[in-house]
Amino acid sequence: MHRVAVIKGDGIGIEVTEAAMKVIEAVTDRIEFVEFEGGFRVFERYGVPIRGEDIEEIRKMDAVLFGATTTPFNVPNYKSLILTLRKELGLYANLRIIPDLWNGREIYVVRENSEGLYSGMFRATEDRVIDFRIITEEGSRRIARFAVELAKNKESFITLVHKANVLMGDRFFRKTVIREAEKEGIDVRERLVDSFTIDLVRNPWNHGIILTENLFGDILSDLAAIHARSIGVIPSGNYGIDIALFEPIHGSAPDIAGKGIANPIGAILSGAMLLDYLGLDGWKIWNAVRSYVKVGSLTPDLGGVAMTRDVVEGVIEEIESEIDPLEWDEVWTDEIRISFIPTMFTK
């Protein structure tokens, strides 16, 4: 049995996480979910977005399934729950898979998740605030290793995005990445972040594994999201040494919360990434979602009129009619997506 912590969070985070849990349960009975509370409501009661004792419990789990939380930027002392968890659980690598579910194409963004401008270190005086952009050798090395392994597994290359013509930290970062990639014979193509944005809009599908530091990764992954038709379908994984956390990249969408119309696909595919991580059958979910979107009705963000639960039911039906892997030889097509997370980053 694998023990998975569940933090549904706020707004549609609750609905989509419940949807993902149902789909996971349709694939495997080897997961036990343990629920924890976190987010702004917890902060209002306890002054922290998640209680210390809960973090200690979560550390003992095999993985975390996360919904979405509201991060207000005008509440003094509020620290985002997801940033807190990334830090507390040492989740240094963020992989976002931006899928074109209708044509079987994907964009991969690997974002360094623990350093850069998100280090939380700053110095503030009366008339000046300095945020420290931390880039360390170890931080760069481990994220480089993550991207290199992905590239190896996909027989692909790395597009390294930086601003090394201006930023000292990026000169340091790029040296480490290039060295790690060379060791494994992985090709690195370098791009400056500003001009790369144009390419990411016009020609998004041919960049291999896009690797970048924290802030650039935050921005570029949202930009790349336009190619998925809706931000509601994009999953992500935050990987650490002993544990990983999976979350759709969308927010808590308070305007549609509770209406039953949130798109659950991003959360469901995050569930697929979670199964990949645990060495279970994540591919079943990927393929079921791909088959479903071609025939089934879609939620309003994708121009349809479906409810969250219609999508969940439809995806589960697809899972139940899935082809047995033993028959793959006869039916192998490009349609079938296999898991590709390198085993060194699985549980």
Binding region for ligand IPM (CB under 6 A): 71, 80, 82-83, 218
Asked whether 305 and 297 are in contact (CB, 8 A), the reply is yes
Please calculate the CA angle 117-201-103 and round it to the nearest 5 degrees: 115
How many whole angstroms from its chain centre is CA 302? 20
Q: Which two tokens stand for residue 340?
A: 């590709």
- Shortest distance, position 116 Cβ to ligand IPM, whole Å: 10
Taking alpha carbons only, the member of 119, 133, 60, 54 closest to residue 86 is 119
Query: From the centroid of its chain, how far is CA 305?
Result: 26
Q: Using DSSP bridges, classify how beta strands 63-68 and 2-9 pair: parallel, antiparallel or unpaired.
A: parallel
User: Who's near 7: CB < 8 A, 6+ residues apart?
Assistant: 17, 35, 36, 37, 38, 39, 50, 64, 65, 66, 67, 81, 85
For residue 83, the partner it binds in ligand IPM, Mg ion, none, with Cβ less than 5 to 8 A by kind, is ligand IPM
- End-to-end Cα distance, the chain: 12
Nearer to ligand IPM, 82 or 243 (CB): 82
The interface partner of residue 180, options being ligand IPM, Mg ion, none and the CB cut-off 5 to 8 Å by kind, is none
One-letter amino acid for residue 327 of the chain: E
Q: Which residue has the tokens 């990987």?
A: 239
Stretch binding Mg ion (CB under 5 A), from 133-141, 212-220, 250-258, 328-336: 212-220
Q: Which is nearer to ligand IPM, 169 or 217 (CB)?
A: 217
Between residues 86 and 284, which has the closer beta carbon with respect to ligand IPM?
A: 86
Distance CA 191, CA 107 (A): 16
Residue number with CB closer to ligand IPM (112 or 301): 112
Give the interface segment with Mg ion, choosing from 111-119, 164-172, 216-224, 238-246 (CB under 5 A).
216-224
Q: How far is the CB of 200 from ligand IPM (least distance, A)?
A: 16
Residue with Cβ nearer ligand IPM (71 or 308) = 71
> Could you tell me the smallest distance in angstroms from the CB atom of residue 41 to ligand IPM?
16
* Beta-carbon-side half-sphere exposure of residue 136 (alpha carbons within 13 Å): 8
140 binds, among Mg ion, ligand IPM, none (CB under 5 to 8 A by kind): none
Whichever of 80 and 291 has its CB closer to ligand IPM, that residue is: 80
Report if residue 180 touches Mg ion, rule: CB under 5 A.
Answer: no
Query: With CB cut-offs between 5 and 8 Å by kind, which of Mg ion, ligand IPM, none does residue 71 bind?
Result: ligand IPM
The CA R_g of the chain, rounded to the nearest whole Å, is 20
| Least spacing, CB of residue 113 vs Mg ion, in Å | 11
Please tell me whether residue 218 binds Mg ion under the rule CB under 5 A: yes
Q: What's the sign of the alpha-carbon dihedral 77, 80, 86, 92?
A: negative
- Tell the smallest beta-carbon distance from residue 67 to ligand IPM (Å): 12
Judged by beta carbon, residue 174 or residue 250, the one nearer ligand IPM is: 250
Q: How far is the CB of 222 from Mg ion (least distance, A)?
A: 6
Instruction: Please return the burial class of 329, using the count of CB atoms within 10 Å of its CB with bins 0-12, 13-18 and 19+.
Output: exposed
CB neighbour list of residue 299: distance below 8 Å, 6 or more residues apart: 232, 261, 262, 263, 264, 306, 307, 308, 311
Phi-psi region of 337 (alpha: psi -120 to 50; beta: other; left: phi over 0): beta
Quick one: tokens of 296?
Answer: 């089934």
Q: How far is the CB of 234 from ligand IPM (least distance, A)?
A: 11
User: Which residues are part of the catalytic machinery?
Assistant: 118, 163, 194, 218, 222
213 touching Mg ion, by CB under 5 A = no
Does position 112 bind Mg ion by CB under 5 A?
Answer: no
User: Shortest Cβ contact with ligand IPM: which residue?
Assistant: 80
Choose from Mg ion, ligand IPM, none: what does 170 bind? Cβ within 5-8 Å by kind. Answer: none
Binding site for Mg ion (CB under 5 A): 218
